[in-house]
């Protein structure tokens, strides 16, 4: 077999043989010589320059048959002549940048590898399994962070069609862009936006749970109590208030269909609710509860929270979105656009309650069957995550949820222990900034610095995976609009969203099991009618 390392005598002998063969087959002498001189020159050139990432892919291309191995440069370098030899190297390498770099080193192309790294020409693809240890993306306004997030969601859904994606977006831009460019997944998209249609709202039962198992109820009760405490924490929460909160939440979860209205009815001493609660726990009948300043203070603070009309419309009444069913089925994208909520109190409060609801739904994933992959995308993560990131990150990993956290500046995560948790416990870190201090959770190599400051190209991002750092230019193919939903499809899609997940404000909830025909999926993830 001829390779780039073949000596010149063998090459000449081989060339003479091919000329004779070509002449017999009807080829002209000059044509045969030109053809094989070109192949020799090309082989020597390729030996000097090495092989590209695309040429490395040929090792894994099943369409290349054994008789054609000598036409592909990667087989030359690895001296592969048989299918058995190829199988050996396919076990040794994988089609990713880590294996490509290893193969370059194994074939004595360290100089080429150094050049590719220094010139930042080596693309980095994140193996999907690395998302198991979560991802953190840090990029300021106008850095292209939203475009990068859209691209990653698009690619992961493309590779894992059964995966479910929940996107929490406080500003709405990311959710709107995903919804707009959702041509291939429009039937499996749930878009929730308070401003979606004037006079309409979606409703979410934040106290819903996937089953009635004791473990589920215990977790949900502690989880929701902790989040309610965090929601009220701006004005301080006493130990006795926490105790009363826990007592009320325990009662709500003793019911077959726990919901937020029941919690509010108990705090406001609605007679039938109070009577039923006293049967569950006699303390509810005592004056220490009914006449206590603690209960009155909690009632007043939750009423103040619900003074915001938009938030009240979401939390009160029968839920129209069943998160549990949407997550369990797989293949869905659930977009929470929270831009319709005011910044001051309502948005952070609902963000925390929403995250608590999601945790309730996922805390027993995988105990009874292998679940579909679940990705939780949280833009402006500091708005949603309550308490230490270390606990939150560990919990999500335990529940089999792949976190993608994103925010603008590391200072937005004010707790030093939380920053350390991102640095130590998150496996994939992606960042773009002007100051090295902004990327303090990453290890930034010298090649990305100039006079001590970050020196990145336009839309270039640094990526660190398991102690290895490189960079990439963010893709922009989604910006062309080619992947956007066609206008006529969008109108039908919008109407489908209204029919499935929204109700008129201040109207009596409709029968959610309507048999009204639809051009879209009949899998409607909403609560069953009572």
Q: Which two tokens stand for residue 412?
A: 């937005």
Give exposure, 236-261, as e/b (b: 16+ Cβ within 10 Å). Answer: ebeeebbebbbbbbbbbbeeeebbbb
Domain match, 195 and 275 both: no
CA–CA gap between residue 71 and residue 80 (Å, rounded): 11
Domain match, 329 and 450 both: yes
pLDDT digits (tens, 9 = 90+) for 454-502: 888 888 889 888 767 888 878 776 666 677 778 888 888 899 999 999 9
Q: Which phi and psi angles does 334 have, rounded to 5°?
A: -110, 115
User: Is 3 a domain residue?
Assistant: no
Mapping DSSP to helix (H, G, I), strand (E, B) and coil, where does residue 190 land? strand
Write the burial class of residue 321 (CB in 10 Å: 0-12 exposed, 13-18 middle, 19+ buried): buried
Domain match, 404 and 378 both: yes
The residue whose two tokens read 């998150």 is: 426
Domain that holds residue 478: 128-205+318-487
Domain match, 324 and 457 both: yes
Cβ neighbours for 490, distance < 8 A, ≥ 6 positions apart:
180
Domain match, 464 and 352 both: yes
Q: Which phi and psi angles does 524 have, rounded to 5°?
A: -95, 115
pLDDT digits (tens, 9 = 90+) for 55-96: 888 998 888 999 999 889 889 888 899 999 999 998 888 877
CA–CA gap between residue 124 and residue 96 (Å, rounded): 8
Mapping DSSP to helix (H, G, I), strand (E, B) and coil, where does residue 438 land? helix
Beta strands per DSSP E along 211-260: none
Q: How is residue 108 annotated by DSSP?
A: T
CA–CA gap between residue 32 and residue 22 (Å, rounded): 6
Q: Which two tokens stand for residue 274?
A: 């109070």
Work out the end-to-end distance of the chain between its first and last CA atoms, rounded to an integer number of angstroms. Answer: 76
Q: CB atoms < 10 A from the CB of 24, how many?
A: 8
Cβ neighbours for 43, distance < 8 A, ≥ 6 positions apart:
2, 3, 4, 76
Distance (Å) of CA 335 to CA 75, 167, 186, 339: 46, 5, 12, 12
User: Is 482 a domain residue?
Assistant: yes
User: Is 504 a domain residue?
Assistant: no
Domain match, 477 and 341 both: yes
Question: Domain holding 335: CATH number?
Answer: 3.40.50.300
Domain match, 196 and 343 both: yes
The residue whose two tokens read 């609902």 is: 350
Domain match, 198 and 219 both: no
Domain match, 163 and 109 both: no
Residue where a domain stops, chosen among 119, 151, 179:
119
Global pTM value: 0.74
| Per-residue confidence (pLDDT) for residue 15, from 0 to 100 | 56
User: Is 261 a domain residue?
Assistant: yes
User: Is 439 a domain residue?
Assistant: yes
Cβ neighbours for 432, distance < 8 A, ≥ 6 positions apart:
138, 139, 140, 143, 144, 145, 456, 459, 460, 461, 462
Nearest to 203 by CA among 490, 516, 493, 510: 510
Nearest to 438 by CA among 422, 459, 425: 422
**How many folded domains does the chain comprise?**
3
CA–CA gap between residue 16 and residue 36 (Å, rounded): 10
pLDDT in tens, the chain (530 residues): 455 555 555 656 655 655 555 544 444 555 555 555 545 455 555 556 678 888 888 998 888 999 999 889 889 888 899 999 999 998 888 877 778 888 888 888 877 777 776 665 665 667 788 889 999 999 988 888 998 999 899 889 888 989 999 999 999 999 998 998 765 566 789 999 999 999 999 999 999 998 889 999 999 999 999 889 888 876 678 889 999 999 999 999 999 999 999 999 999 999 999 999 999 999 999 999 999 999 999 999 999 888 888 899 999 999 999 998 888 888 999 999 999 888 767 888 898 899 999 999 998 776 656 788 999 999 999 988 877 789 899 999 989 999 999 999 999 998 888 999 999 999 999 999 888 888 989 988 887 888 878 888 888 889 888 767 888 878 776 666 677 778 888 888 899 999 999 999 975 444 333 333 333 232 332 332 22
Distance (Å) of CA 232 to CA 238, 259, 261, 317, 386: 10, 19, 18, 22, 12
Nearest to 51 by CA among 119, 1, 148, 122: 122
CA–CA gap between residue 336 and residue 346 (Å, rounded): 15
CA–CA gap between residue 332 and residue 162 (Å, rounded): 8
In a 13 Å sphere around the CA of 438, the CA atoms on its Cβ side amount to 16
Domain match, 201 and 275 both: no
Domain match, 387 and 478 both: yes
User: Is 522 a domain residue?
Assistant: no
User: Is 502 a domain residue?
Assistant: no
CA–CA gap between residue 382 and residue 419 (Å, rounded): 11
Q: Which two tokens stand for residue 298?
A: 């909690």
Bridge partners for 462 per DSSP: 431, 471
Determine contact, residues 122/54, Cβ cutoff 8 Å.
no
CA–CA gap between residue 34 and residue 37 (Å, rounded): 5
Residue where a domain stops, chosen among 68, 90, 119:
119
CA–CA gap between residue 275 and residue 251 (Å, rounded): 12
CA–CA gap between residue 517 and residue 322 (Å, rounded): 20
Cβ neighbours for 262, distance < 8 A, ≥ 6 positions apart:
252, 255, 273
Distance (Å) of CA 244 to CA 37, 207, 240, 251: 88, 17, 6, 11
Determine contact, residues 394/123, Cβ cutoff 8 Å.
no
Q: Which two tokens stand for residue 347?
A: 């948005």
User: Is 497 a domain residue?
Assistant: no
Residue where a domain stops, chosen among 248, 277, 306:
306
Domain match, 286 and 380 both: no
């Amino acid at each position: 077999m001829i390779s780039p390392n073949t000596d010149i005598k063998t090459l000449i002998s081989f060339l003479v043989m091919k000329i004779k063969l070509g002449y017999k087959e009807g080829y002209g002498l000059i044509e045969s010589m030109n053809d094989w001189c070109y192949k020799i020159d090309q082989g020597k050139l390729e030996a000097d320059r090495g092989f590209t990432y695309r040429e490395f892919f040929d090792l894994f291309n099943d369409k290349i048959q054994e008789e054609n191995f000598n036409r592909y440069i990667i087989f030359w370098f690895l001296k592969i002549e048989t299918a058995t030899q190829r199988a050996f190297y396919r076990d040794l390498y994988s089609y990713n940048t880590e294996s490509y770099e290893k193969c370059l080193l194994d074939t004595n192309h360290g100089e080429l590898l150094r050049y590719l790294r220094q010139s930042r020409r080596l693309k980095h693809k994140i193996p999907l399994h690395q998302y198991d240890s979560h991802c953190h993306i840090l990029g300021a306004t106008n850095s292209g962070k939203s475009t990068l997030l859209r691209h990653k969601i698009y690619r992961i859904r493309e590779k894992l069609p059964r995966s479910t994606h929940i996107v929490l977006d406080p500003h709405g831009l990311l959710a709107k862009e995903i919804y707009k460019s959702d041509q291939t997944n429009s039937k499996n998209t749930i878009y929730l936006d308070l401003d979606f249609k004037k006079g309409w709202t979606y409703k979410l039962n934040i106290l819903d749970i996937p089953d009635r198992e004791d473990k589920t109820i215990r977790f949900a009760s502690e989880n929701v109590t902790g989040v309610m405490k965090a929601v009220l924490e701006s004005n301080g929460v006493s130990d006795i208030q926490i105790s009363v909160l826990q007592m009320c939440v325990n009662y709500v979860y003793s019911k077959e269909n726990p919901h937020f209205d029941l919690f509010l009815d108990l705090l406001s001493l609605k007679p039938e609710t109070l009577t039923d609660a006293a049967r569950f726990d006699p303390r509810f009948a005592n004056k220490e509860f009914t006449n206590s300043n603690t209960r009155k203070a909690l009632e007043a603070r939750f009423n103040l929270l619900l003074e915001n009309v938009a938030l009240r419309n979401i939390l009160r009444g029968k839920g129209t979105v069943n998160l549990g069913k949407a997550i369990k089925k797989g293949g869905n994208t659930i977009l929470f656009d929270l831009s319709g909520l005011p910044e001051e109190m309502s948005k952070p409060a609902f963000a925390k309650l929403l995250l608590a609801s999601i945790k309730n739904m996922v805390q027993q994933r995988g105990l009874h069957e292998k679940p579909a992959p679940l990705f939780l995308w949280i833009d402006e993560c500091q708005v949603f995550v309550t308490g230490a990131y270390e606990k939150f990150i560990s919990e999500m990993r335990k529940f089999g949820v792949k976190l993608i956290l994103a925010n603008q500046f590391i200072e937005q995560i004010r707790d030093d222990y939380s920053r350390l948790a991102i640095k130590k416990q998150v496996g994939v870190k992606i960042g773009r900034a002007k100051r090295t201090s902004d990327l303090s959770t990453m290890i930034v190599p010298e090649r990305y610095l100039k006079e001590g400051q970050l020196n990145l190209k336009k839309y270039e991002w640094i990526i660190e995976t398991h102690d290895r750092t490189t960079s990439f230019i963010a893709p922009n193919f989604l910006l062309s609009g080619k992947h956007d939903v066609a206008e006529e499809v969008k109108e039908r899609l919008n109407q489908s969203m209204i029919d499935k997940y929204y109700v008129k404000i201040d109207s009596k909830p409709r029968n959610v099991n309507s048999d009204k025909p639809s051009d879209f999926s009949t899998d409607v993830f909403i609560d069953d009618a009572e």
